[in-house]
Structure 1
Amino acid sequence: MTPTPREVLLFTLEGQRYALPMEDVRELIRAVRLTPLPRAPVVVEGLLDLRGELLPVLDMRRRFRLPARPLSSSDHLVVAQAGARRVALRVDRAEGLLALEPGSLDSTPRELPGVGYVAGALKLPDGLVLLHDLRTFLSEAEALELEEALAREGVSR
């Protein structure tokens, strides 16, 4: 079970807000050109060269069934820890940090079918925000397919 976060990073996609536990977030950077990764799962947008470390960039739009959009210089990349692997997530905009009040996280959504990567919902004054668990963001098959694609390119953990 994932520990309850005390602070989250809020971000937006298509005007909808989402959150990640701050414990998983390493840094924020402006979007840059990505290198394609042949034979990677469809949820992987490409590779990011971050100071010599090659990171897979996960396509949040595809995962959330939002319309595809070309990479923009106004997009943000959230570098985060997804289990044993560091990844980057392309988001429209990182909004900032939010300290959670006790009782503001409802874990009920985690039990709904088809939302295995949702750790819960934050009850904020201006609406609900889904909190995502990057440890379960990729299915086992997607994680294996990603590892194989990265190995073919000579990229290690």
Structure 2
Amino acid sequence: MPTPPPREVLLFTLEGQRYALPTGDVRELVRAVRLTPLPRAPAVVEGLLNLRGELLPVLDMRRRFRLPARPLSSSDHLVVAQAGSRRVALRVDRAEGLLELEPALFDDTPRALPGVGYVAGALKLTDGLVLVHDLRTFLSEAEALELEEALEREGAPR
């Protein structure tokens, strides 16, 4: 059964390109802070964030979208979100805000295209298309397992 379209999304930017996440997956926004390296984690994991005592893996959106690497900046935002059974943080250049969706704006066609397994659909906005990402499929099974093993070695609870 297909996932119902989101009713509201969080818009964010990377390298001037806009993307979106369903707000049902988003928990909070925090300013970027120094990250702790996580040895033997998958390449898509940038490090660990200690958020009020909870250790969260920070996923490198730039690497996943094949954008040029950039050092962490104090102006970056971290989107704390639910990716399946695990809370994660996503480093983005800037969180733009929330957008309430009319059903006609959402198109789930992109999810059927090869190579876009972590895309839930696209928003057809007046200023262009915005891909909506599905965090449940953002990590491959192998990456998720590798991340779990790395976190266990660091003593981070599931």
Range class of TM-score, shorter chain: over 0.9
What residue ranges of structure 1 are gaps of 5+ in the alignment?
Answer: none
Cα distance in 2 between the residues matched to 1:17 and 1:80:
18
**Which residue of 2 is the match for residue 50 of structure 1?**
51
**Which residue of 2 is the match for residue 28 of structure 1?**
29
Deviation of 1:3 after TM superposition, in Å, equals: 2.4
In the alignment, does 2:41 pair up with 1:37? no
Contact 2:84 2:135 in 1 (8 A): yes
**One-letter identity of the residue aligned with 1:42:** A
- Output the TM-score relative to the length of structure 2: 0.98
Deviation of 1:2 after TM superposition, in Å, equals: 2.3
**Which residue of 1 is the match for residue 126 of structure 2?**
125
In the alignment, does 2:15 pair up with 1:10? no
Percent of aligned positions with the same letter in both sequences? 88
- Output the TM-score relative to the length of structure 1: 0.99
Cα distance in 1 between the residues matched to 2:128 and 2:116:
19
**One-letter identity of the residue aligned with 2:108:** S
Deviation of 1:122 after TM superposition, in Å, equals: 0.3
Deviations 1:81-108 (A, max 9, x none): 0010000000000000000012111111
Cα distance in 2 between the residues matched to 1:74 and 1:2:
33
**How many residue pairs end up in the alignment?**
157
Secondary structure, aligned partner of 2:103: coil
Root mean square deviation of aligned Cα: 0.5
**One-letter identity of the residue aligned with 1:60:** M
Cα distance in 2 between the residues matched to 1:130 and 1:78:
16
Cα distance in 1 between the residues matched to 2:47 and 2:103:
38
Contact 2:5 2:103 in 1 (8 A): no
Secondary structure, aligned partner of 1:142: helix
What residue ranges of structure 2 are gaps of 5+ in the alignment?
Answer: none
Alignment map for 1:100-119 (pairs within 5 Å): 100-119=101-120
Cα distance in 1 between the residues matched to 2:78 and 2:33:
8
Contact 2:76 2:93 in 1 (8 A): yes
Deviations 1:6-35 (A, max 9, x none): 000000000000000000000000000000
